[in-house]
A and B are shown apart, each in its own frame.
Chain A
């Protein structure tokens, strides 16, 4: 008889179970697709969960208009290849007011173009459940979050009063206007994600692999000059360096790392000796103490 499941098989089964539970219990679910490696894994798991059918829900990308160009190209390519229903939402108010990370800072930019944009999209389509790729090992307020995480009609998370979550029995009941954020990757670690990408040969955005790229050193981070909207400050120069990204977001807010890892094996090898966490490359987490929790309470993923 077959022996016990491997670590990744167990994680995979748990995630698939969560996907199916949402499809069975909610009337209008959506998957938040952020184009990063976790989203790639999430999408792969969704394809598995409903095979031979397609996932019975659309994928939503909240586009801040400041994502790396390679991310947008990859997104459109995946949508075409897998044939899923892709919705793209942009906060047009923010575009009109020209909200951007350079002039308004990461806080305002993220709030308007990401958090508010997400709330707009959820309200517009009336989604009652939204999958996200957050993992508990990423950040300490995420370590506290339930797999099925309740949001009131204003999309607010109340971390001090979460529903108990017993076994794999999920409370999927909500009133009109309320919703649930669902995190199928809750129990995965960064290493698990990479191992799984390697094992399943899952396509990811090329930005994760090392390559010569034009970067500018700013505030202790290496920022990729992805387009002409980024103006150089006095003393700054664009240099071509061998870099890659451990995590992907808005390009002005995402730091590259110097690395020669240009294969999945090399990336995992590098990770095993890493001395900093992946979110260190994210400017938004460092703005203030407890900043992730605050953003999450307001409706950020």
Chain B
């Protein structure tokens, strides 16, 4: 009967010995990758089956599934064992990475089975980021394909140094050595510059098990190890313990006034009681008083351990900072070059603001320069204005606040980051830091005695940026001009930055692609910021269709100085007015990327001022703007007085 389990065969007294042996085994994390249909999932199914990891009830379910969705005739379709999502079984493809666990007498393994389709590259990268070795599968009939190259490049960028080149389906080319040799030569040629330490080519049939765990009778010309033999013995030890001490502070543990511990996972190196450590961002030094752990303090701790450090004195350290070795410190900079793998369907645009997250730190960041895109076929460095989904490039990044890091090539933990979209919160990219840019280290902000406050006071006003956004023809310029006249009449110092005018000068080199529109806004926002710093009331009149760019502009300004004015006129009305005849031409297809026609307008969700223009005059709009401005000045004066100035 199915519920009856065989009486335990292993003698109980042997269990502790067995477990002790288990504990000594090392762990290898690897992934399978390569193009669609090269047999990745089948290989993992084969590995699990050959190492006896499949239970009877799972096998029964597999047989049921194979009959329903299988692609291998009457045989068991091992791919169905790992393709765990309904959509995957129905479509016969792998969408997301699956993690599987198996062990042999020599080693424990965690394997990430990753998808081959280009559109799911981000899931392949997810699996690769925690792996030390990649099995790159190649269909012997197809040879090295575009996805083989893309996956190999990504594996290399993510720091994988060991490759198994599994030339699969060797049975379908009659176990022909010439085919195998040609593919291996192709791959070695292609991967010459990828920095792999070992490449182990193995002719294989995952479906029939040739050279997976048992040596094949059909490939007498091959004398190397089987896949399992290789995985059991390959040395991938990354000596994180040998690197300088790095301790990213994750959590400040402060249960009461007498205890203040810094909790985190040691990224590299070792630490012992009494050691001197330095706070990376401030350079302040202290000593380790205690290494606190449940069950008793530790004398020392090593890379990979999650510990809590108590320091000798009350130095200022918070989450995102790092405690490090005084002898070899990490870099601290706000500008650096990094390799980026882009995941999102919305392209990476230089100038747009993203959230940058390291293991424990977070700040906003922009790509200041996309230096080049890497062609995955031939490694050519190609000029590019944006990075599309699944593309790889090298960029200069500028962060709002400095971060502490090491180059990724030296430290996989402290050299990595992800980029997050500000609005959707999606993880849009992964980055590997190459080096800091000298600029950031050498140029310091000039501290001037004559400041913004003094300049504004002299003009007897509060500076600010009124940012008018709205469709072409919505009335932005008309209202802005009238508003400026009114302000001027009341003795205020103003300046208007108008979209059309700026494009004739400062931004004459920019077109109307998404990338150029972002840059257009960035420059205008920076100019507006300088003018506000000079004490002016700036009126910006720009379509500025993307909320991300308006947000970027907002974040450049001091708190309360960015006033978003939504000039809300319906599309139909704008098209009817059509003061410059542009709508007629755009609707005819004569102008491309026209906002509201074939390029989107993202309306502000919470503008400071929302002007609904329909049925109202420009004078009425300006009245409400002036009213808003007066209210604000009154509020701030009250605040100032209350502050005792």
Using CB atoms and an 8 Å cutoff, list the residues of chain A in contact with chain B: 1-2, 4-10, 12-14, 16-17, 20-21, 23-24, 47-54, 136-137, 139-144, 146, 159-160, 162-169, 171, 173-175, 186-187, 189, 191, 195, 198, 220-222, 255-261, 263, 265-266, 268-270, 272-277, 280-281, 289-290, 293-294
Contact = CB atoms under 8 A, between A and B. Distances in A.
Given A2-B270, A162-B96, A167-B359, A263 B12 contact: yes
Contacts of B420: 171, 173
A269 B11 contact: yes
Interface stretch (B411-419, B466-474, B490-498): B411-419
Given A20-B264, A167-B359, A169-B359, A275 B5 contact: yes
A140 B4 contact: no
Contacts of A54: 255
19 contacts: A10-B27, A14-B306, A50-B253, A52-B261, A136-B101, A137-B101, A142-B84, A143-B99, A160-B96, A162-B123, A166-B125, A168-B413, A169-B418, A259-B8, A260-B8, A269-B15, A272-B18, A276-B55, A289-B86
B99 A276 contact: no
B15 to A, nearest CB: 4
B180 interface: no
A69 to B, nearest CB: 22
B10 A269 contact: yes
A6 B24 CA distance: 7
A24 B5 contact: no
B191 interface: no
Interface string B309-348: 0000000000100000000000000000000000100000
Given A47-B294, A274-B55, A167 B413 contact: yes
Interface stretch (B193-201, B219-227, B424-432, B533-541): B424-432
Q: Which of A164, A256, A290 has the most CB of B within 10 A?
A: A164
Contacts of A263: 12
Interface stretch (B145-153, B297-305, B448-456): B297-305
Among A2, A5, A222, residue most surrounded by chain B Cβ atoms (within 10 Å): A2
A293 B8 contact: no
B23 A7 contact: yes
Given A163-B427, A166-B416, A257 B19 contact: no
Contact of B14 (A146, A269, A270, A275): A269
A164 B306 contact: no
Contact of A276 (B5, B26, B425): B5
A19 B144 CA distance: 42
B430 A164 contact: yes
Nearest to A272: B10
Nearest to A191: B22
Given A50-B263, A165-B129, A186-B99, 17 more contacts: A8-B23, A21-B250, A49-B306, A51-B292, A53-B259, A136-B99, A137-B101, A140-B81, A143-B100, A163-B426, A165-B427, A166-B126, A187-B99, A220-B1, A266-B12, A280-B2, A293-B86
Contacts of B129: 165-167
A171 B413 contact: no
Contacts of A53: 253-255, 259
B87 interface: yes
A12 B304 CA distance: 10
A163 B126 CA distance: 9
B9 A255 contact: no
B358 interface: yes
Contacts of B64: 289
B85 interface: yes
Nearest to B300: A2
Contacts of A9: 304-305
Given A1-B270, A269-B15, A52 B259 contact: yes
Nearest to A274: B5
Contacts of B294: 47-48, 51
Q: Give the interface size class of chain B.
A: 35 or more
Contacts of A166: 125-126, 129, 416, 418, 427, 430
B302 A5 contact: yes
Contacts of B98: 136, 140, 143-144
7 A-B pairs with least C-beta separation: A140-B84, A53-B255, A16-B306, A270-B8, A48-B294, A277-B55, A51-B294
A274 B1 CA distance: 14
A17 B264 CA distance: 7
Interface string B245-268: 000001101110001010111000
A111 to B, nearest CB: 18
Contacts of A49: 263, 306
A53 to B, nearest CB: 4
Contacts of B418: 164, 166, 169, 171
Contacts of B167: none
A23 B359 CA distance: 14
A49 B306 CA distance: 8
A6 B305 CA distance: 11
Contact of B427 (A21, A137, A171, A261): A171
Nearest to A278: B55
Contacts of A280: 2, 55, 57
A175 B418 CA distance: 18
Nearest to A265: B15
B305 A13 contact: yes
B3 A269 contact: no
Interface in B83-128: 83-87, 89, 95-101, 108, 110, 122-123, 125-126
Contacts of B430: 164, 166
Contacts of A17: 250, 264-265, 306
B293 to A, nearest CB: 7
A198 B4 contact: no
Nearest to B120: A160
B6 A275 contact: yes
B8 A269 contact: yes
Given A257-B5, A265-B12, A144 B84 contact: yes
B19 to A, nearest CB: 6
Nearest to A54: B255
A79 to B, nearest CB: 19
A24 B293 contact: no
B250 A51 contact: no
A141 B84 contact: yes
A222 B5 CA distance: 12
B304 A10 contact: yes
B507 to A, nearest CB: 32
A169 B417 contact: yes
A159 B302 contact: no
A143 B82 contact: yes
Contacts of B425: 171, 173-175
Contacts of A136: 98-101
B3 A257 contact: yes
B580 interface: no
Contacts of A52: 253, 255, 259, 261, 292
B65 interface: yes
